[in-house]
Amino acid sequence: MARILIIEDDDRIRTALRLMFEGEEFVVDAAASAEDGIAMFDRQTPAIAIVDLMLPGANGFEACRHIRTTSDIPVIIVSARDDTADVVEGLEAGADDYVKKPFVPRELLARVRAHLRRRPTGRAAFTMGDLRITPEEGTVLRSDGTEIHLTATEFKLLTELAGANGRVLSREHLLEHVWGYDYFGDGRLVDVHMRRLRAKVEPESATPTFILTVRGQGYKLVL
Amino acid sequence: MATRSLRGRLTWTFAVGAAVLSTIFAGLTYFGVRHIIVVSRQASDLQQAYVNAALVRSALSQDPASLPSLLTSLDAATTSSSLVRLGSTWIEGTTVADPETIPAAFRGSGTEVIRQVVIERNVPVLIIAVPLPAVRATYFQRRELADLNGTLNRLLGIVALGTLFTSGLGAYAGRRTTRRALAPLADTAQAARLVAEGDLAVRLPSDAPHSEVATLSAAFNEMVEQLVRRLDRDARFASDVSHELRSPLTTLAMSAEVLRLHEADLHPDAREALSLLTTDVATFQALVEDLLDIAKTDAGTDALVNEVLPLNELVSQCVMSATRRHQLPPTTLNSELPCECYVSVDRRRFERVITNLLENAYRYGEGQVTVTLLANDGGVEVAVDDNGPGIAPAERERVFERFYRGSGASRRGNAHGTGLGLALVSEHVKRFAGRVTITESPLGGCRMVVWLPTVEAGSE
Amino acid sequence: MSRLRTPALALLAALLLSACTLVPTDPSPRTVNSVEVPSGLLNGAGTKQSATVSLWFYDAEHQLVRRTARIPAPLTISTLVKRLALNVPSGLSTALSPTIAMSRAVVRGSEATIFITAGFHSGDTVNAMAAMEQLVATMRDNYGIETLNVTDVANGRTLTIDSAAP
């Protein structure tokens, strides 16, 4: 019984989303503004959040940032704008994925399920510099024992790269295996998340030593 | 009637005008000058004849024997030749002047001075007869006017040359003037061509020196501005309408989805109605997506993300993805490429192209669809064949128009096309520097061929 | 355009054609108003009724001798010839036949040509030469003639004589 937080200012869409997710056996917290949504999130942490970027008052970007300060849950943003800069800004604010209005309900459901389903299994623990990564537990520990918080998406990206044993993985491969997209996902999802991941695990994110970009092909992890 | 060059016509008019005017002036000048020269010459010749006649009279009355020598000296002093007739005796100077050359009209014994210009052996000759009743003699003076002819000849030559020169000058001036006068017309035509080719940034210079040209330029610029505003408004309208439709459409789609989740509880009639609703909402969503896509393409606001991709893999991924998403029957994919070819395309828009072509083939064909890759004309072709009724040659251009519905093709199934599918295909392919054509398929239906230029594998 | 070309070319052609007769000719003689004629050229005032002329005849020794006579004006060669043939002073003779007749005479400088129509026998060389000498002497005195041509219009023969100094 997963709890889902929906922040959407359009009453009708919010109601429809609530009805749909309730029909799919979710527990739905539906908020009409970023402030209400943040309050709901603080009261009880959901398993996943859907945030409309176009909100009155404090906008969806702030809601994303707030959620990201305390939680690693997947956040899917809903963008009604054509301006692709919005999508990138939303991803930079911490969102894991995005859908554009008008979305196909079944696609949104599929995205939500894909994000909830992910918990990498069967991968052995490995070290990267002074970091100890344990996929079974979903933890990243420094040698001094402090934990680094990776979002679910970031963690899955890291383990996917580690599983390739130094081979180059294309953006399409990563989209398919981390986000569950087929060949035609948005490569920017990968790039933004890769940037955030580097900021967390690389000693010097401007000059990465573990996660390397192979121009025109993709990414690879060098241990 | 063939169109004629306005410039040639104006030039010709200038030239002819100059020719006519200069000819008239030349004619007036020539005849006027000739008149003056001839009249003054005849007057002076007449005076000369009177003087000579007086000399002859006094010679005859005082010393007739001196007459021949007097005539000789007169002839030597003037360029004329003198004759004196005394009854049947003709007395001449040394200059040859046969009495026979005096016209018969002069032979009578007139009592008045007469003169006449006659032509002798192509030379004009002025003959003056002065009767001298005091000595019963008649004095004749012949004077050849060859020199006068020479003078007039030269005058005529100069005048004719002047006429020719003026006509030439007129033609040249006409050509120059019309070129300058018509240059704005040529500029406007060029600008109109550019606008027609889609360059809406073209404007004519507004600082034209002549008011007529300035008016033309202003009107042209205003027209282009209006056109741009109109196009912008149209593009924005489509985009705005689509935007406004998004939210209610999203609600509608999700409500239908909620109903679908509870399908089992519904009455069979309601279930059937729900099925219709779901299908049409899907069509509606696709239509809005297509409209937005087209509006963005028209406004030029969508940024292409072109990547260099291997065609074989790209097309097979596209076919797979389209088949899965749109629940299409399996499609045969053949490659006749001699080697791996690379194309530079926007991945998602290319998928859109293939998806639309496949949907179209399944919608109007009889269920058998193949995709073939070929190398051709310095590029590659993606040919989508169906075994439907095909498209009549007359309609082949038009099917790429927006919302064009073929006359022969009936819709099959309950999934409607948006009417924008092939229009989008055409727009996208154009932006990949390719082209779409329709031919007959070996399967019996129609073959849609997307031609794309190939690129080097390594290029970005 | 040929509609325009035609008159232009015609005009040019007309201009060129007029070059053949540059000076305008007169179809018939034109009379000058007599009041414009100066010096009283046209009135008969000062008409000389007679003139004194020299005439040469042969004497008994067949030598040419000069006589003067007054004859009515104007002094024409035909008058001279007639006087020489018909008015022979007594004691003298002439070589000219009394039947002599001439159509016209032309004096050009010091050369004169007389066209005889009758009464001149160019075949009779002795007589013809005598007549020529008599004529040229007379002509020399009155007209300053030095060379005389006599053309027999009947047979077209011409005799020429230079005046000998008297």
Q: Do chains A and B touch (3 or more CB pairs under 8 A)?
A: yes
Strand ranges inside B247-300, DSSP E = none
- The H or E element containing residue B296 is helix B268-299
B377 Ramachandran zone, left/alpha/beta (phi>0; psi -120 to 50): left
Nearest to B271 by CA among B258, B259, B281, B279: B259
| Residues in Cβ contact with C117 at an 8 Å cutoff, skipping those fewer than 6 apart | C101, C102, C103, C153, C154
| Predicted pLDDT at A130 | 84
**What pLDDT does B353 receive?**
92
User: In angstroms, rounded to a whole number, what is the distance separating the alpha carbons of residues B438 and B159?
Assistant: 72
pLDDT confidence of residue C132: 86
Range B173-193 average pLDDT: 83
Q: List chain B residues with CB under 8 Å of A17.
A: 254
- Predicted confidence (pLDDT) at residue A6 exceeds the cutoff of 90: yes
The answer for B174, left when phi > 0, alpha when psi is -120 to 50, beta otherwise, is alpha
Q: Give pLDDT tens digits for A118-175.
A: 665 667 788 888 888 888 777 888 888 888 888 888 888 898 888 888 899 988 889 8
Q: Is residue C17 part of a domain?
A: no
User: Residue B392 is encoded by which pair of tokens?
Assistant: 């009549």
Mean pLDDT of chain C: 78
**How far, in Å, CA of C16 to CA of B156, rounded?**
8
Q: Where are the domains of chain B?
A: 6-154, 211-298, 303-455
Give me the amino acid identity at B285: Q
Output the pLDDT for position A49. 94
CA–CA min distance B86, chain C (Å): 6
Residue A141 pairs with which residues in a beta bridge?
A132, A147
From residue B190, give the alpha-carbon distance in Å to each of B184, B185, B204, B207, B231: 10, 9, 10, 18, 21
Rounded CA-CA distance B133/A183 in Å is: 135
Instruction: Quote the tokens at residue A50.
Output: 């859907």
Residue C24 within any structural domain of the chain? no
Q: Cα(B353)–Cα(B331) distance, rounded to whole angstroms?
A: 15
**B/C interface, count of CB pairs below 8 Å:** 185
Minimal CA–CA distance to C18: which of B166, B37, B160, B143?
B160
Q: Which helix (H) or strand (E) holds A221?
A: strand A218-221
pLDDT of residue C1: 47
**pLDDT surpasses 80 at A222:** yes
pLDDT of residue C5: 65
Q: Which helix (H) or strand (E) holds A5?
A: strand A3-7
Asked if B285 has any chain A CB less than 8 Å from its own CB, the reply is: yes
Residue C108, both tokens: 């050009």
Contact of A2 with A26, CB cutoff 8 Å: yes
Q: Residue C30: phi, psi to the nearest 5?
A: -110, 140
Total count of domains within chain C: 1
Q: What are phi and psi of B192, to 5 degrees?
A: -60, -40
pLDDT recorded at residue A118: 63
Does B264 lie at the interface with A, CB-CB under 8 angstroms? no
Contact A102 B245 (CB under 8 A): yes
Architecture of domain B303-455 in this structure: 2-Layer Sandwich (3.30)
User: C touches A (3+ CB pairs < 8 Å)?
Assistant: no
Question: Which has the higher per-residue pLDDT, B433 or B120?
Answer: B433
Across the interface, whether the CB atoms of C41 and B61 are under 8 A apart is answered no
Count the Cβ atoms, other than its own, within 10 Å of residue A174: 24
User: Which residues in B lie closer than 8 A to residue C37 (C-beta atoms)?
Assistant: 50, 113, 130
Cross-strand partners of A213: A219
| pLDDT exceeds cutoff 70 at B410 | no
Is residue C13 one of the residues assigned to a domain? no
**What one-character DSSP code corresponds to residue B368?**
-
Q: Best residue in A55, A86, A88, A183 to probe B by mutation, most B CBs within 10 Å?
A: A183
Task: Look at the alpha carbons of B92, B95, B99, B104 in this order and tell me if their dihedral is positive or negative.
Answer: negative
Residue C30, domain member (yes or no) = no
Domains of chain A, first to last: 3-117 (3.40.50.2300), 126-221 (1.10.10.10)
The model's pLDDT over B84-130, given as tens digits with 9 standing for 90+, comes to: 888 778 887 765 556 777 777 777 667 788 888 888 887 888 889 98
Q: Is the pLDDT of residue A28 over 90?
A: yes
The answer to whether residue A24 neighbours chain B at the CB level (below 8 Å) is: yes
Chain B CB contacts of C12 below 8 Å: 23, 160, 163
Does B321 contact chain A (CB < 8 Å)?
yes
- Per-residue pLDDT of A55-81, as tens digits, reads 776 688 889 999 988 888 999 998 876
Burial state string for A57-86 with b = 16 or more CB within 10 A and e = fewer than 16: eebbbbbbebbbeebbbbbbbbbbebeeeb
The pLDDT > 70 percentage for chain B reads 93
Q: Where residue C11 falls among pLDDT bands split at 50, 70, 90?
A: low
Query: What does the alpha-carbon distance between residue A68 and residue A75 come to, in Å, rounded to a whole number?
Result: 9
- Whether pLDDT at B414 is above 70: no
Using CB atoms, pick whichever of C23, C30, C142 lies closest to residue B64: C142
Q: Residue A82: its chain B contacts at CB < 8 A? A: 239, 292, 296, 301-302
How many other C-beta atoms lie within 10 A of the C-beta of residue C118?
13
Whether the pLDDT of residue C14 is over 80: the answer is no
Flag if B134 and C16 touch (Cβ within 8 Å): no
Query: Does any domain span residue C3?
Result: no
CB-CB under 8 Å, C74 with B136: yes
At residue B413, the pLDDT reads 44
pLDDT category at C46 given cuts 50, 70, 90 is low
**Quick one: pLDDT at residue B55?**
87
Q: What is the DSSP letter of C98?
A: T
What CATH number matches the domain at B6-154, 3.30.450.20, 3.40.50.720, 3.40.50.1980, 1.10.760.10?
Answer: 3.30.450.20
Neighbours of B80 (CB within 10 A): 23
Phi, psi of B381, deg, nearest 5 = -120, 135
Q: Within 13 Å, how many C-alpha atoms sit on residue B169's CB side?
A: 10
At residue C15, the pLDDT reads 59
The reply to whether residue C142 touches residue B53, judged by beta carbons under 8 angstroms, is: no
Measured CA to CA, the distance from residue A75 to residue A165 in angstroms comes to: 29
In the predicted model, is pLDDT for residue C17 greater than 70? Answer: no
* Residue C78 within a domain: yes
| Cα distances (angstroms) measured from residue B429 to each of A2, B357, B373, B395 | 44, 12, 16, 19
Interchain proximity B254–A13, CB inside 8 Å: yes
User: Looking at residue B1, what is its pLDDT?
Assistant: 45
**Residue of chain B with shortest Cα separation from C18:** B156
Mean pLDDT calculated for residue range B415-437:
85
Return d(Cα B95, Cα C108) in angstroms, integer.
8
Q: Which residues of B touch C25 (CB under 8 A)?
A: 117-119, 124
Which residue is associated with the tokens 């520097």? B433
Judge whether C41 lies within some domain: no
Contact A197, A149 (CB under 8 A): no
Could B257 and A102 be called an inter-chain contact, meaning their C-beta atoms sit closer than 8 Å? no
Choose between A3 and B118: higher pLDDT. A3
Q: Counting one residue from A and one from B, how many pairs have CB atoms under 8 Å apart? A: 79
Q: Is B79 on the interface with A (CB under 8 A)?
A: no
Minimum distance, in Å, between the CA of residue B167 and any CA atom of chain C: 11
Q: What span, in angstroms and rounded, lies between the C-alpha atoms of B152 and B445? A: 89
Q: How many CB atoms lie within 10 A of CB B215?
A: 11
- Tell me the fold of B211-298: Helix Hairpins (1.10.287)
Q: What is the pLDDT of residues B365-382, one digit of tens each?
A: 888 899 999 988 888 999
What are the structure tokens assigned to A115, written together? 């994000």
CB spacing of B302 vs A82 below 8 angstroms: yes
pLDDT reading at B202 higher than 70: yes
- Determine which of A83-97, C19-33, C148-162 has the lowest per-residue pLDDT on average: C19-33
Measured from the Cβ of residue A44, the count of other Cβ atoms closer than 10 Å reads 10
pLDDT of res. C18:
55
User: For residue C69, what is the DSSP state?
Assistant: E
- List, as one string, the DSSP characters of C15-52: HHHTTTT-SPPPSS-EEPPGGG--TTTTS-TT---EEE
Nearest to B289 by CA among C150, A99, A204: A99
Residue B196 has pLDDT above 60, yes or no: yes
The predicted pLDDT at position A21 comes to 92
pLDDT value at residue C94: 86
Q: Is the separation of the CB atoms in B239 and B292 below 8 Å?
A: yes
Q: In chain C, what is the greatest distance between 2 CA atoms, to the nearest angstrom? A: 96
Range of the domain at C55: 50-162
Q: In sequence order, what are the beta bridge partners of B353? A: none
- Hey, are the CB atoms on B460 and A216 less than 8 Å from each other? yes
Cross-chain CB nearest to B115 (options C4, C7, C32): C32
Q: Does residue C38 fall inside a structural domain?
A: no
DSSP per residue, A17-34: HHHHHHHTT-EEEEESSH
| Model ipTM value | 0.75
